[in-house]
Structure 1
Amino acid sequence: MNLSDDVDLEDWVARPDKISGADINSICQEAGMQAVRENRYVVLTKDLEKAYKNVVKKDTNDFEFYK
């Protein structure tokens, strides 16, 4: 699995959300799965965006139950 040339990793590192190494791992795995679902072996920016929304935004909603 490769990253597309248009993916800017500096943009991802500079995001304001505090995420753990496990979150980064989940984002990368989910982005790879998004690419495979579309029969591609190159991860695009849109794959990372979708994975980021699924992993990071999902985590904040999971804790609403405990408030």
Structure 2
Amino acid sequence: MKVTVDQDKCVSSGQCVLNASDIFDQRDDDGVVVLLNDSPPADKADNARKAATACPALAIDIEE
């Protein structure tokens, strides 16, 4: 699995962090997504998928 984010699309909703805090974080100043791990382990893959699905701006891309 390869995870990428488009910070320009991010609307700072925080859904990524709520679903996968070990993969995503948010910048302190504006809440924009920060990718912590672009290749999460298999046991975290479902959380990454949930975060991508929950993102209202579709700023997270998952490549299997």
TM-score bracket, normalised by the shorter chain, equals 0.3 to 0.5
TM-score, reference length from structure 1 = 0.32
TM-score (norm 2): 0.33
Greater fraction strand: 2
More helix as a share of residues: 1
